Amino acid sequence: MVVDPYADYTMRARDVARLMRAYPSMPVIAYTQFAPVALRALSLLAKRGLHDSVLFQFDDGRSRFGRLLVRASTKSMSRQMLEGLSDVRQQLSPALSDAINDLFERPHAYASARDLVTTSGTPLTSLYRAFYSAGLEPPKKMFIAARVLHALSYLRDPGYSIQQVADKMGYKHPRVLTQHTLAVFGVRPSRLRRHTDSDELVSRLIDWVKRA
């Protein structure tokens, strides 16, 4: 949701704050002009959880705005994914549950599923045992799901080639990204570009990492 908290030259911070409270899962980007009243509105909203703002004709270049929109989209899908896994995450230790949360927030920071061992402080054998007991597939699938989830948001932007998306997600070769999308969804990355139903894709990812 992109909103102007100074629309019609009127302080709209309270209206935006009500929207944020009513729809907490909806990412919000404030886009307004560089004016004292507008800046006060941004300050008030920042205290209520606003993280992203753009100023008209100052930092609203196409590249930056595009990155913000992609990041907001990814955060929304990551939140859906983690909420869909809340039942099984409750069966894991807090440290391991937090590590999974971090994996979906920053998949580029994980070179492999084994990095969950380092992040959570859980020995490898205990990690596999915990996943199995919670009804999850092996950790490698969780690692793949996190990368594929973030790749989905970039694939929707026709400005990125498959090679560029693979590079952004840390794949050594786009062939590996293709292998992963085929394993999860049964289609190549090029086909996923045309798939607009985020809810369905996230639901399929959740089913893929849970044991039947």
Q: What is the CATH number of domain 69-209?
A: 1.10.10.60
Q: What is the pLDDT of residues 107-116, one digit of tens each?
A: 888 988 899 9
Using a cut of 0.75, tell me whether the model's pTM lies above it.
Answer: no
Would you say 99 and 131 are in contact if contact means Cβ atoms under 8 Å apart? no
25 has pLDDT over 60: no
22 has pLDDT over 80: no
Residue 33 has a CB neighbour count (10 Å cut-off) of 14
C-alpha span between 117 and 102 (Å, rounded): 13
| In the chain, ranges of CATH 1.10.10.60 domains | 69-209
Q: End-to-end distance of the chain based on CA atoms, in angstroms?
A: 36
Name the one residue in this structure whose structure tokens are 């998306």. 165
Tokens of 130: 């915990």
Q: What is the pLDDT of residues 27-41, one digit of tens each?
A: 788 999 999 999 999
C-alpha span between 66 and 92 (Å, rounded): 36
Q: What is the pLDDT of residues 140-179, one digit of tens each?
A: 999 999 999 989 878 877 778 899 999 988 888 999 999 9
Q: What is the pLDDT of residues 62-81, one digit of tens each?
A: 878 877 776 676 667 888 89
C-alpha span between 96 and 117 (Å, rounded): 9
C-alpha span between 16 and 13 (Å, rounded): 5
